[in-house]
Amino acid sequence: MKSLRTRLLVAMTGSFALLLAVFGLILDASFEYMLVREFDFYLETLAKTLAAAARIDADGLTLKLVPEAIPDVAAVEGELFSQYWNAEGTVLAKSTNLGAHELPRRLAEARGPHVETFELWDGRRARAARFEFFVGPAAPVPAATSAAASRITLVVARDTTDLESHVREFRWLLLGAGSATMILGATVLVLVIRRSLRPLGDMAARIGALREDDLGARIPTAALPDEIAPLVQRLNELLGRLEEAFARERSLTADVAHELRTPVAGILSTAGVMLSADRTPADYREALEDVRRIARRMGSMIENLLMLARLDSQRARFQLETVALRRVVATCWQSCQGKAAARGVTFENAVPDNLCCVSGRSGLTIVLANLLENAAEYANDNGRIWVTARATDGMIEIAVANTGCRLSEAQVARVFDRFWRADASRSNASLHVGLGLALVRRIVASLGGTVQAHAAGGEFTVRIRLARHD
């Protein structure tokens, strides 16, 4: 039942069949009711006619008319029976076709005019109409008989075999007509559904024709039905987002290639120049040191990139544990210490000794190491770097700050972008891969925190707010 077409067809055919069945039942009931009413009316009329023709005299009841004598009655299919009782319950007369049998007495004993169904002695079903009437003698009658002869109960019965067969026939007819209508209806439905769903097929073909290298393509929605248009609209929006994502991916790849080309050129050129002539061991050593420095830089850039990629694909999850912040900051500073000391930059770890937070230690370490490295690189000569932290309502706030900031407001807003370099601000150029702060933002986000950068009065501050998780 996966096909929408099948589902629609089944649902609609089912509903249609149900409606048809209900309609058929109503029709059948109405038809039977009408037939029975007609039947009963006939019986009652016949009873009245027979009653009108009955006379009573000294010999008892005289029937001037018997059902068989009425031409219309003779034409009626099915047997007609009649029986007369007097007030005492004595059978006065009965139709000859009853033979030795009698109509059930209880039919005569009921009150008022009455029609009911009963079973004949041979198992056939029949309907009987009761009619009471008073008759007087056509000629003067003896007093002895007149009193007893006054009230007569007449029961006219007719077997309903015929009626039932009519009803059955009608049922078959109804069933046949209903089935034919069903088949015809289903066929029409199949065609209608196929026609209505054609836009879906067309759309599938269009979507199938989309190529991954042409994400700029959009499916036109103008000619589509209202139900499908929103779907296609969403799909187009998705295509738009995909296109953007791919463009970002492409520009990232281009940026990576660009950032890696320069150090590779450095290695190639260093090696090429060194190999162009015989050198002293000291020269070789220096060149190898240079190459190692470049390679380390490239390595850390690749690590950062991989970390970013993992974070982007949500594969990296940091294990939560209790982190003593002051110690982490001190550890992270160690790798920057040499570089900072050489330029006379001082460092102050102002994180309270007892301040702990439950967070991802490895993530937090990468964040702080990157921030400190960044600070050590951009702080002015003889400048200052300091780290503070405090606990506030369920959050831990860590701030890493350095002097010597020459970034403008607009530049500060962009420091977390990948591969952004504050080129214009650097006089002493050293390769800064522009990934460190992007990584910081990404990790802080995955630790459930926020990060902001501020520049004021020559001081650059990165403020991290982390949930404490405790």
Do residues 158 and 127 lie in contact, with contact meaning Cβ atoms separated by under 8 Å?
Answer: yes
Do residues 230 and 254 lie in contact, with contact meaning Cβ atoms separated by under 8 Å?
Answer: no
Question: Is residue 340 near other proteins by the rule CB under 8 A?
Answer: no
Residues forming beta bridges with residue 465, ordered by sequence position: 397, 450
What residues contact 463, with CB distance under 8 A and at least 6 apart?
397, 398, 399, 451, 452, 453, 454
CB nearer to other proteins: give 230 or 299.
299
Q: Which stretch binds other proteins (CB under 8 A): 245-253, 403-411, 424-432, 448-456?
A: 424-432
Question: Which of 321-340 are b and which e, b meaning 16 or more Cβ less than 10 Å from the residue's Cβ?
Answer: eebebbebbeebbeebeeeb
Question: Is residue 268 near other proteins by the rule CB under 8 A?
Answer: yes
The residue from 47, 157, 224, 259 that contacts other proteins (CB under 8 A) is: 259
Element (H, E) at 323: strand 320-324
CB nearer to other proteins: give 192 or 268.
268
CB of 245 to other proteins, least distance (A): 21
The residue from 59, 111, 139, 276 that contacts other proteins (CB under 8 A) is: 276
Question: Is residue 306 near other proteins by the rule CB under 8 A?
Answer: no
Element (H, E) at 115: strand 114-119
CB nearer to other proteins: give 124 or 296.
296
d(CA 56, CA 144): 13
CB nearer to other proteins: give 220 or 299.
299
Q: Read out DSSP for 411-450?
A: HHHHTTSTT---GGG-SS-----S-HHHHHHHHHHHTT-E
CB nearer to other proteins: give 69 or 265.
265
What residues contact 145, with CB distance under 8 A and at least 6 apart?
56, 57, 58, 60
Question: Is residue 277 near other proteins by the rule CB under 8 A?
Answer: yes
Q: Which stretch binds other proteins (CB under 8 A): 87-95, 129-137, 270-278, 362-370?
A: 270-278
Q: Which stretch binds other proteins (CB under 8 A): 18-26, 110-118, 336-344, 428-436?
A: 428-436
d(CA 92, CA 86): 6
Question: Is residue 105 near other proteins by the rule CB under 8 A?
Answer: no
| Nearest Cα residue to 389 out of 398, 377, 401, 380 | 398
The residue from 285, 425, 456, 458 that contacts other proteins (CB under 8 A) is: 425
Question: Is residue 253 near other proteins by the rule CB under 8 A?
Answer: no
CB of 275 to other proteins, least distance (A): 9
Question: Is residue 250 near other proteins by the rule CB under 8 A?
Answer: no
Question: Is residue 430 near other proteins by the rule CB under 8 A?
Answer: yes
Paired tokens of 81: 């029976």
Do residues 157 and 97 lie in contact, with contact meaning Cβ atoms separated by under 8 Å?
Answer: no
What's the burial of 85, exposed, middle or buried (CB within 10 Å: 0-12/13-18/19+)? buried
Q: Which stretch binds other proteins (CB under 8 A): 51-59, 94-102, 135-143, 421-429?
A: 421-429
CB nearer to other proteins: give 242 or 268.
268
CB nearer to other proteins: give 294 or 443.
294
CB of 294 to other proteins, least distance (A): 5
Question: Is residue 272 near other proteins by the rule CB under 8 A?
Answer: yes
The residue from 186, 287, 307, 395 that contacts other proteins (CB under 8 A) is: 287
CB nearer to other proteins: give 227 or 423.
423
CB nearer to other proteins: give 414 or 463.
414
Residues forming beta bridges with residue 387, ordered by sequence position: 349, 400
Question: Is residue 11 near other proteins by the rule CB under 8 A?
Answer: no
Paired tokens of 389: 């932290």
Question: Is residue 380 near other proteins by the rule CB under 8 A?
Answer: no
Element (H, E) at 463: strand 459-467
What residues contact 326, with CB distance under 8 A and at least 6 apart?
349, 351, 352, 353, 355, 389
What residues contact 247, with CB distance under 8 A and at least 6 apart?
none
Question: Is residue 426 near other proteins by the rule CB under 8 A?
Answer: yes
Do residues 368 and 332 lie in contact, with contact meaning Cβ atoms separated by under 8 Å?
Answer: yes
The residue from 18, 184, 191, 424 that contacts other proteins (CB under 8 A) is: 424
CB of 450 to other proteins, least distance (A): 30
Question: Is residue 342 near other proteins by the rule CB under 8 A?
Answer: no
CB of 214 to other proteins, least distance (A): 20
The residue from 257, 309, 350, 456 that contacts other proteins (CB under 8 A) is: 257
Residues composing the chain: 470
**Using CB under 8 A as the criterion, which residues of the chain lie in contact with other proteins when the complex forms?**
254, 257-259, 261-270, 272-274, 276-277, 287, 290, 293-294, 423-427, 429-431
